[in-house]
Structure 1
Amino acid sequence: MPLARSTTAFKSSSALVGKGVHRAAMVSIRNPIEMFVAVLILASFSYFTLYNLARTSDIFSGTSTRLYPATVHASANDNGFSLYPASDEITKNAVKIHMKQLAVNDKGEALDRFQSMIENQVFVPDEPALSNNKFSYAHGLCYQTEENQCAALPSWENDDQVVLSYAIDATGSIRRELARQWADKVDSLPPGELVSQANQQEGENLLAWLFIITRNVVFRLKELIDMADNVDIFVILAGYIMMIITFVSLFVNMRRMGSRYSLASAVTVNGFFSFMLALLTVHAIGVQPSPVVLAEAIPFLVVTIGFERPYKLTKRVFEFSKETPLTRQDVRETIIRAVDTVALPIARDCVIEISVLALGAKSAIAGLREFCFLSAILLAYDVVLLFTWYTSVLTLKLELTRIREISGNTSSNKNNNKKSQAPSNMSYVRRAVVKALSDDSSNATPRDSQKSDGSFIGRLKLLMIVAFVAMHIFEFCTAFQSGPQVDVTQPGIASVLSSLLEQHRASAQASLPLIVEVFPAVVFHVPSANKSLVPESITRPLEALSEIYAVYIQHPVISQWLAIGLFVSLFLNTYLFNVAKQPKQLPTEQRTDKQSQQQAPPTPTIATKKAVVSSPPPSTDVIRSVDECMALIKTPEALNDEEVIQLVQNGKVASYALEKTLGDFERAVSVRRSLISRASVTKTLEHSLLPLKDYHYDKVFGACCENVVGYMPLPLGIAGPMKIDGIDTVIPMATTEGCLVASASRGCKAINNGGGATTIVTADGMTRGPCLSFPNIISAGECKRWIEQEGNSILTEAFNSTSRFARLRKLKVALAGKLMFVRFSTTTGDAMGMNMISKGCEKALSVLGEHFPDMQIVSLSGNYCTDKKPAAINWIEGRGKSVVAEAVIPGHVVEKVLKTTVAALVELNVDKNLVGSAMAGSVGGFNAQAANILTAIYLAAGQDPAQNVESSQCITLMSAVNDGKDLHISCTMPCIEVGTVGGGTTLPPQQAVLEMLGVRGPHPTNPGDNARRLARIICAAVMAGELSLCAALAAGHLVRAHMAHNRATAVPAPIPGSCIKS
């Protein structure tokens, strides 16, 4: 029970996550421009905020090595301080002090005024809610040895600087936060008589500041390299090289999918936005990652997190977009299908990685803690922006590509042609590099490539993250060092600490341990006028712009109004852009004509094409020359149908390419119909009753039929409903045979009165039997033995690697001289599976050829399958779904509904279906009309009607039960070949029938269940037809029923002048 509950909770949470991602993606897909601009605005604000924080920090300041605070402690019995290990926990009941140091270059009166301001005029906190409760150093913040008396710390001199020390009581979380705020406020004091180094850089012009930053960064890197070990330098260099390879791999993979730079650049920008937002978030929380740690860890972050998620989404979008031509598909539907496919795996991997990083964030290692915290937030932002901002980029990309294709700029087709060419012109080294840096799945079909999508890469990255965190937690080695700390043994600092310890010993808290965190000194000096390196004519306009920015943009009221104006302008421009895309209003007469033409709902593609045509094709009275028509071939709407026919007849346009040339499927079918009719003997097709209009030709093109001239409607009848495995199910049947649906309905009624039909699926496996040739029977025999023994697992592994659904179940080998036939039997999910199994056979045979080089493949299908032909092997071994159905019909139902008796039915079944079929030498034909029912359902449900040859093999058995009072009937059908994915099931009418049965498309949780359910329905329906037909034969009603219902009798004309009807 606990396991079941946890599984249910997991499924519900997965469904919740999937629904949330779906809704977020739908918002981005429906409003791509708004989402794109909104994220850009958010990223811009983040960038400027981080930019200002960087300018006022000491990241780029000075050339000396950055110092980190040092912590010392002294217990009640110690005579002096000792370094406090960073990994230890803070001692309970200890007095915690922050010692802030200020180094001042002026020793005159300015120093006294500065010291008075620091102690009495810097107030914290800044929150408006606490404005009545402000603290300064002298009043509430300093460490007090006696009541209302701050600890007196001596000043000391260092290189013409006077160092002032301040002891701030940081015992407890509240005081620690107040101490941090006071220190930050002192560091950022506005320029006056004394100015800090950060404020001095802020006052310099922009170009000089950039020059100083560049110089300082170069010197800082040199100092870090000089301090580092050779092993550390090698590891960091290798990390940066791997990071560069990761970026190159991203651009190569995106280029192979058809995007040169745009999508790869968008992925990079998406990651940069996530990094900025993560940095801003951790700064707002109060976590301050070291710049050196970030510089060392960014390569690891790029390599482990990488770009697998956006690449996987992009790949799925392009796979779905290639299922139908881009000009005839809904871009929104394509992208949301791709998002729904990859959302749950991506979210699951992200949650696992964030959980591992959260463990690292709870460690006591200073650098690792901040980095893991930043990485976890970065991962979260990356996933959010992936399904919002990057999804909007994909939408805009597909929309622009679709517009270019509609406009005739089909440059993507040329790229695809170049891509499909064999890379024989490339050098071997270049091919090897491209293959190594790209995803090797370009030959996989969209369905089969869903098997893992880099699951190995995902597991490898997760393993790298776990190993990285564990390596630093257990201190096998660590790259995250806090850097050099303040030297507490320096004479000046040591004297201050000794004085502080003496005053602590004399206070009332002398029995408590003392912990002091010594911060590096902040330098203040007298401002001096620096000579600019840039001419004043250049710097003066820049300084003016900077002043305007400082006055207007940073003003709290003006900046808010500017932001409001920006958003109003954004949405107004978006609205105008959408209005501009709408077609112009037609006059009333034209609008009425359009409405009358569009009463029958066409497909989205046809509707789009009709919408862009502002006028009908030109009149056919004047037919232009071939040369004039060829000049207009890029704008087919300017040509009339007769001119298109003329181009085809003169060999300028291929008849089979009319859909692609005209861009209107219905018009292409009409033109082809005229061509074939005029070339035929009877010339009747053009004006015949064969339907043409309002059909989903976009679904047929490239999938179901070629050289289309119309469609053949069939009557669709419904038998039943019949209770099949406890579910009331209707039986759709497309047929032109009278009485067939009525007969099946009578059988359904009789079975329902007995409690319904019960079905089981005994086997599931589509087969393919290639023919192989060997030089002699010795080699053929060795190969047969190898396949049946140690080679079975090798071939199975090779076969299964080609698809997510195909799983090899059985191999049957037979020899005929030096020819060998191998019958592969495999499950294929909800697809009928011939293409899937053919691909697996090719892979398995290539592996087999490596072990037996003298083998030759005669044919991928050697009729050992056997497909669309009667064969005993299908009857014995099974092919597709093997189903058995049974039912018990009470005796009174047999007499009342079927108009016969149990004994008569049993006798007729033995004599007709068993003995009669045996006398005829039948294979699998021990039934009355299984092919009738099965083929009618096949036609209605989009199955391959030619496969009724083997699928309709059935044996019907009847026996008397319950002391001969009731009838037991069963139908065994070992080779029902059906699928709910691909082929004719993609056509909308057939999809409607499958949806009525509840088996449309792939099963959402258990692949193959929909196809198996359809096979159960077919077998039960065949049993109903068998029961009704045998009852009619036993009662002698068959001929009378067909004479009455299967012949259309002419209505007699009324007798002239007579009022009496006969």
Structure 2
Amino acid sequence: MPRQSSSYGGGGTTAFRSVSSLFGGAVHHVARIASRSPIEMVVVVLILSSFCYFYLFNLARTSDIFSGTVTRLYPTSVFASPSDTTFTQLDRGADLTNGLHHHAVKIQLKQMAISDPKQQALDPQIIQQFQHLIKNEIHVPDNTKKQFNVQDLCYHQQDDHCFFENDKTDSSVVLSYAFNATGAYRQHLADLWEHKVATLAPGDLVSLSNTGHQENVFSWLFVVVRNVFLRIKELLDMADNVDIMVILAGYLMMIATFASLFINMRSMGSRYTLATAVIFNGFVSFMLALVTVHALNVDVYPVVLAEAIPFLTVTIGFERSIKLTKRVFQLSKETPIAKQDIHKTVVRAVDSVAASITRDCLMEIVVLTIGAKSGISGLREFCFLSALLLAYDFIAMFTWYTAILTLKLELTRIRAINGSSATVVKKGGAVKNTGYVRRTVVKVLDVSDNEDGKTDNFIIGRLKLLMIAGFIGMHVFKLCSTFQSTNPQVNTTEPSVASILQQLLQQHQSSKQNTLPLIIEVFPPLPFHVAESVRKSIVPEAISQPLSTLFSTAAIYIQHPAISKLLFVALFVSIFLNTYLFKVVRQPKQSEEKQTVAAPAPAAIAPVAAAVPAEKAVTVTKTEAPVVPSDVVRSIDECLSLVKTPEALNDEEVISLVQKGKLAPYALERTLGDFTRAVRVRRSLISRASVTKTLEQSLLPIENYQYEKVFGACCENVIGYMPLPLGIAGPMIIDGIDVHIPMATTEGCLVASAARGCKAINQGGGATTIVTNDMMARGPCLSFPNISQAGECKRWVEHEGNAILTEAFNSTSRFARLQKLKVALAGRLAFVRFSTATGDAMGMNMISKGCEKALSVMQEYFPDMQIISLSGNYCTDKKPAAINWIEGRGKSVVAEAVIPGETVQKVLKTTVVAMCELNINKNLIGSAMAGSVGGFNAQAANLLTAIYLAAGQDPAQNVESSNCITLMEPANNGQDLRISCTMPSIEVGTVGGGTILPPQQAVLDMLGVRGPHPTNPGDNARRLARIICAAVMAGELSLCAALAAGHLVQAHMAHNRANATPAPTPIPGSCIKS
């Protein structure tokens, strides 16, 4: 028998499969949120992307990436050992935290270059004011109690003064400051100080690193375009031919990747929207990755970024988005789009591809992380950025893009309902009549899977991994250097710089730290010009002035405290209004048609709409109103032609089709595609066929119920639902935990009585419970030709056949585990009782499946055996039987509590002696006189059935589940009362059956036992059985006390007759006052 593939896809190692399985659940929940609220998700992503865009835009404007200087200088590090008289230049990107460099004294040399482009003499007063400003008025870091200035951060000389050098000429001045950068924190403070100086507000001097603040946006854009063009030209002149070929190949592959995306999306029926959404998905991920990289203080240089973009596009690609899109469209074609629940379709598609997509992303991120660990400058930043981009792209795919797919299907559904079918380009249709070259290109770029996408194509994923690994290998072995920036560094051999370095070296060698090496990092000078030198505009004033005024006015209004809040509120009002309008549009449009004269009907039928009173009408869950007016009934033939589009039929026409035998009344849900409408139509049919014809106008509720949960699982031919009052007794302390007991009942006084029992038990410390057995049973009836073969079968089952049948039985489920086999003979008939643990399920279906498998194996050993019935009443299910009382069935539970004597007198209004005497005479002797089997109790079925109805259990199983013996005896020298309830056959489950219905699930949630237990299968069902047994004990205690005190009849007469005149005062010991 072939092995079935895992639900989370094959391929890859076990570790990757387990991790992808872990991510699968998270992806499912995220996709469910995105598909349920697509507009909200799109708006959130757009707002987030806007913040990222403006953050990066401002970062670019305040940096020197697009500055007027074409060539960007990088810092230079020099090194000198204690015995050296000159410095040695270190390679750029060298690790200064390891080896000898780690213990060196580190100094950062910061420089400010002040000049006048007109070559005029500088005013000394301006220079002095500037020096005073940067020395005394710049403090770092911000928003902290302890701040530092130049005096705190500088490198101190022997006379404890800061090192400072001033290189003057007539038209320029270079100010040099040496900072003590020994330690990461001091380096960080020095960098903050330099950034503050570079971004100083304009005054007499203007920082050229901050010119973006003085120029308007259009002037800045002109400068950017010019500088980028010059920068590209300079890089081409400096680059090797191999590097140019690699970059050119990357851009060509990027163009091919974009072309492949549009071609594949077009083949699936989307011309531009989905492909544009995928590109925007990648753009948002790219911006988020850049923001994260900047927040982590990782420098990604512009040259590296420009060279990385094509390789990022090619390696990450769009195959995952195409795969998800294709799967969504495949599932959307399984049923008519007008009948679909778009949310469920999208979530199903995501679940089917999430594992494989997660696996591929994780493997690629691992490879890129390995590359990020390399020490190669440029490659390290590229791999780090790529790994982050992959992670963000993965998240955005199942949030933003999933929401876009949901909106796409919703719009398609609206067109289908309104009768305008969307034009879908079939596979190959877009290139059917084009030239050979175009067909070849499209075929090459098409990444569609074979066999309708049923086989996962691993070749693309493996090829991309090889491309990434090969690309990293090329840089590791230095076959090319595309990501290694060739920008020049600060020239330390210039006389002005060299003299400063020599002074610092001499001072270091004469200091107390002269035994340590010295490392000096020389930074390029920050350019400053006099204010007049930057006050010129590239754009003509006739154009720039009106635009500048417009943007300035807009900025004023946006920054206004009141107007900005109003705009913010207006934005969210617009968002929610659009959301509401979109949901309204999703409802089918009622087309105005000419009223056609209906064919003569055999009998006049009252309209369905008139059957429901207006004050009781509730909004229908799916289809609010039929397309045609409800008072127009067309001919049978015309209605039959519209059966495949039930939205076009009104309820009266559906009723006429059923009455004529053209539709089956039990199949209305499948035919109409609307569960609430099907229930309403069926109720009208039943009402008109009944004697009283009152059901259609009755108070039996129909609206606001999730019938899709009922269909095919809990009930058939549904005509509504029956509400029951739900009461709560307690809380009651059960095994040290406070538990509220839910009870669905129409018997007055029952909940109040149980509440009194809970109160009495709590005053004694609560109830203690144990589970002694957990085995569901099924007993098939087998027939043999004679008693000899029947006896041989009994012997075989009890000896060597036990292991064989156990193995066969256990193979049918991962939860079902055969615990015991018991065989009984009646002539040539054999009854085999299979007792099995069934996890958190009640287990009848599970054990029946296992029995069928075990019996098929048994027939191989006994060919003459005949299976009379899978259930031979030897189980026994839903019938009183001594075997359930003796052997147990389901959960066997015992509960116990000790009630203080004072509580018995004050709360229960009786005595310990009276309680014990009543229990013996009533529950034990009385039941024995009646020949009861398992009925040695006062009202176990009352409490158990009420909880069964509330918790979604099978109420018919109260027959055997109510088996209970209640025992009472004096405790603590006769002062207190000890009570226990033994229930050997409580049949409950927390999965399957009625537990799938939302109200019942809410009750199980309240008890903390909903669904399967996450770690120990069966614990939730056993906990529910413990709660039931303890609640039964509370009911037994309260009822027996009422009987012993003689209050039972009085309490029921006062509280079970709603129309009776209420008693003037509560009866002592009644269910109202305890």
TM-score, normalising length from structure 2? Answer: 0.58
Unaligned stretches of 5+ in structure 2? 1-11, 117-121, 591-605, 675-684, 686-711, 717-774, 784-789, 814-819, 833-844, 850-855, 869-990, 996-1074
Alignment pair present for 1:51 and 2:57: yes
Which whole-Å deviations, capped at 9, do the CAs of 1:189-234 have from their partners, x for residues lacking one?
1101010113334312332221111111111111111111111111
Which whole-Å deviations, capped at 9, do the CAs of 1:396-443 have from their partners, x for residues lacking one?
11001110111111132xx34x657696522222211110011243x6
Q: 1:51 to 1:110 in 2, by over 3 A?
A: farther
Amino acid paired to 2:76: A
Q: CA deviation at 1:269?
A: 0.2
Superposition pairs of residues 902-981 of structure 1, within 5 angstroms: none
Measure, in 1, the Cα distance between the counterparts of 2:233 and 2:663.
86
- Which residue of structure 2 aligns with residue 471 of structure 1? 474
- Which residue of structure 2 aligns with residue 800 of structure 1? none
- Which residue of structure 1 aligns with residue 912 of structure 2? none
- Conserved in 1, the CA contact under 8 Å of 2:626 and 2:648? no
- Conserved in 2, the CA contact under 8 Å of 1:958 and 1:970? no
Q: 1:29 to 1:516 in 2, by over 3 A?
A: same
Match of 2:139 among 112, 121, 124: 124
Superposition pairs of residues 225-374 of structure 1, within 5 angstroms: 225-374=236-385
Alignment pair present for 1:659 and 2:664: no
Measure, in 2, the Cα distance between the counterparts of 1:555 and 1:422.
53
- Conserved in 2, the CA contact under 8 Å of 1:153 and 1:500? no
Measure, in 1, the Cα distance between the counterparts of 2:776 and 2:297.
61
Q: CA deviation at 1:136?
A: 1.4
Q: 1:474 to 1:438 in 2, by over 3 A?
A: same
Amino acid paired to 1:374: L
Aligned length: 704
Which whole-Å deviations, capped at 9, do the CAs of 1:610-666 have from their partners, x for residues lacking one?
6343622625xxxxxxxxxxxxxxxxxxxx235727xx9xxxxxx6x8625975699
Q: CA deviation at 1:759?
A: 9.7
- Conserved in 1, the CA contact under 8 Å of 2:247 and 2:482? no
Q: 1:146 to 1:893 in 2, by over 3 A?
A: farther
Q: 1:954 to 1:187 in 2, by over 3 A?
A: closer
Match of 1:459 among 454, 457, 462: 462
- Which residue of structure 1 aligns with residue 488 of structure 2? 484
Residue 155 of structure 1 aligns to a residue whose secondary structure is strand
Superposition pairs of residues 387-406 of structure 1, within 5 angstroms: 387-406=398-417
Which whole-Å deviations, capped at 9, do the CAs of 1:522-564 have from their partners, x for residues lacking one?
2100122645444434322322233345545457997677546
Amino acid paired to 2:398: F
Alignment pair present for 1:526 and 2:530: yes
- Conserved in 1, the CA contact under 8 Å of 2:824 and 2:831? no
Alignment pair present for 1:510 and 2:514: yes
- Conserved in 2, the CA contact under 8 Å of 1:666 and 1:692? no
Measure, in 1, the Cα distance between the counterparts of 2:256 and 2:522.
43
- Which residue of structure 2 aligns with residue 82 of structure 1? 88
Measure, in 1, the Cα distance between the counterparts of 2:137 and 2:315.
45
Q: 1:81 to 1:546 in 2, by over 3 A?
A: farther
Q: 1:440 to 1:567 in 2, by over 3 A?
A: closer
The more displaced of 167-176 and 60-69 is: 60-69
Which whole-Å deviations, capped at 9, do the CAs of 1:102-147 have from their partners, x for residues lacking one?
11114322552254235423433233233xx22111x111111225
Q: 1:590 to 1:495 in 2, by over 3 A?
A: farther
Residue 149 of structure 2 aligns to a residue whose secondary structure is coil
Q: CA deviation at 1:169?
A: 1.0
Measure, in 1, the Cα distance between the counterparts of 2:379 and 2:279.
25
- Conserved in 1, the CA contact under 8 Å of 2:204 and 2:530? yes
Amino acid paired to 1:508: K
- Which residue of structure 2 aligns with residue 144 of structure 1? 156
- Which residue of structure 1 aligns with residue 420 of structure 2? 409
Q: 1:534 to 1:146 in 2, by over 3 A?
A: same
- Which residue of structure 2 aligns with residue 1051 of structure 1? none
- Which residue of structure 2 aligns with residue 1006 of structure 1? none
Superposition pairs of residues 575-974 of structure 1, within 5 angstroms: 575=580, 578=583, 593=610, 608-609=622-623, 611-613=625-627, 615-616=629-630, 618-619=632-633, 640-641=634-635, 644=638, 659=644, 686=660, 694-697=668-671, 758=805, 892-895=825-828
- Which residue of structure 2 aligns with residue 134 of structure 1? 147
Alignment pair present for 1:574 and 2:579: yes
Alignment pair present for 1:97 and 2:102: no
Q: 1:74 to 1:690 in 2, by over 3 A?
A: closer
Measure, in 1, the Cα distance between the counterparts of 2:244 and 2:308.
13
Q: 1:368 to 1:118 in 2, by over 3 A?
A: farther
- Conserved in 2, the CA contact under 8 Å of 1:104 and 1:523? yes
Measure, in 2, the Cα distance between the counterparts of 1:370 and 1:48.
23
- Conserved in 2, the CA contact under 8 Å of 1:99 and 1:165? yes
Q: CA deviation at 1:458?
A: 1.2
Residue 195 of structure 1 aligns to a residue whose secondary structure is strand
Measure, in 1, the Cα distance between the counterparts of 2:372 and 2:257.
26
Amino acid paired to 1:393: I
Which whole-Å deviations, capped at 9, do the CAs of 1:119-178 have from their partners, x for residues lacking one?
423433233233xx22111x1111112253112334255x95322211111110110110
- Conserved in 2, the CA contact under 8 Å of 1:96 and 1:171? yes
Q: 1:668 to 1:82 in 2, by over 3 A?
A: farther
Q: 1:175 to 1:422 in 2, by over 3 A?
A: closer
Amino acid paired to 1:425: N
- Which residue of structure 1 aligns with residue 767 of structure 2? none
- Conserved in 2, the CA contact under 8 Å of 1:60 and 1:216? yes
TM-score, normalising length from structure 1? Answer: 0.59
Which whole-Å deviations, capped at 9, do the CAs of 1:17-59 have from their partners, x for residues lacking one?
2221111111111111111011101111111111111111111
Residue 296 of structure 1 aligns to a residue whose secondary structure is helix
Amino acid paired to 2:671: Y
Measure, in 2, the Cα distance between the counterparts of 1:513 and 1:171.
12
Amino acid paired to 2:516: L
Q: CA deviation at 1:471?
A: 3.4
Q: CA deviation at 1:496?
A: 1.8
- Which residue of structure 1 aligns with residue 33 of structure 2? 27
Which whole-Å deviations, capped at 9, do the CAs of 1:221-250 have from their partners, x for residues lacking one?
111111111111111011001001001101
- Conserved in 2, the CA contact under 8 Å of 1:320 and 1:334? yes
The more displaced of 182-191 and 20-29 is: 20-29
Superposition pairs of residues 428-443 of structure 1, within 5 angstroms: 428-441=436-449
Residue 191 of structure 2 aligns to a residue whose secondary structure is helix
Q: 1:503 to 1:759 in 2, by over 3 A?
A: closer
Measure, in 2, the Cα distance between the counterparts of 1:618 and 1:476.
80
The more displaced of 192-201 and 318-327 is: 192-201
Q: 1:111 to 1:563 in 2, by over 3 A?
A: same
Residue 163 of structure 1 aligns to a residue whose secondary structure is strand
Measure, in 2, the Cα distance between the counterparts of 1:485 and 1:577.
58
Measure, in 1, the Cα distance between the counterparts of 2:477 and 2:562.
52
Match of 2:545 among 533, 540, 545: 540
- Conserved in 1, the CA contact under 8 Å of 2:68 and 2:227? yes
Q: CA deviation at 1:270?
A: 0.5
Identity of aligned residues (%): 47
Which whole-Å deviations, capped at 9, do the CAs of 1:679-723 have from their partners, x for residues lacking one?
xxxxxx9458965762513799xxxxxxxxx9xxx9x999xxxxx
Q: CA deviation at 1:338?
A: 0.9
Which whole-Å deviations, capped at 9, do the CAs of 1:287-327 have from their partners, x for residues lacking one?
22101000011111110011122111111111111111111
User: What is the alpha-carbon root mean square deviation over aligned residues?
Assistant: 4.9
Q: CA deviation at 1:466?
A: 2.5
Q: CA deviation at 1:729?
A: 7.4
- Conserved in 2, the CA contact under 8 Å of 1:200 and 1:527? no
- Conserved in 2, the CA contact under 8 Å of 1:665 and 1:697? no
Q: CA deviation at 1:9?
A: 8.6
